[in-house]
């Protein structure tokens, strides 16, 4: 993917878990990597790398969707 885009409207976007390759939607306002609870592997505490946040294992996710359109830019983020 090209450069991440920030300042978008908050909405579910397609992401892929870097630990197990599970694809799921994560609600973000950008297209950069993020942490989220993976529905497939977060319950496996020591099986993959992750970050413990608020008592739950979060995995790194990468954006897999299309490039955002101009309509997705949040005018209040500028």
| Coil vs helix vs strand at 39 | coil
Domain extent for 51: 6-65
pLDDT at 1: 53
**pLDDT for residue 71 is more than 80:** yes
Q: Residue 58: inside a domain, yes or no?
A: yes
Q: Model confidence over 11-41: pLDDT tens digits?
A: 999 999 999 999 999 999 999 999 999 999 9
Please identify which residue in the block is written with the tokens 């309509």: 71
Q: Residue 73: inside a domain, yes or no?
A: no
pTM recorded for the entire structure: 0.89
User: Across-strand partners of 36?
Assistant: 59
Q: How far is CA 25 from CA 5, 36, 45, 54, in A?
A: 17, 10, 21, 20
Taking the C-alpha atoms of residue 33 and residue 49, their distance in angstroms, rounded to an integer, is 15
Mean pLDDT of the 55-73 span: 94
Q: Residue 77: inside a domain, yes or no?
A: no
User: What is the domain count for the chain?
Assistant: 1
């Amino acid at each position: 993917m090209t450069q991440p885009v920030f300042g978008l409207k908050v909405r579910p976007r397609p992401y892929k878990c870097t630990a197990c390759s599970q694809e799921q939607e994560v609600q973000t306002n950008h297209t950069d990597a993020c942490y989220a609870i993976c529905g497939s592997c977060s319950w496996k505490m020591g099986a993959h790398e992750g970050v413990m946040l608020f008592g739950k294992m979060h995995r790194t996710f990468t954006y897999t969707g299309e490039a955002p359109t101009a309509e997705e830019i949040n005018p209040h983020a500028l």
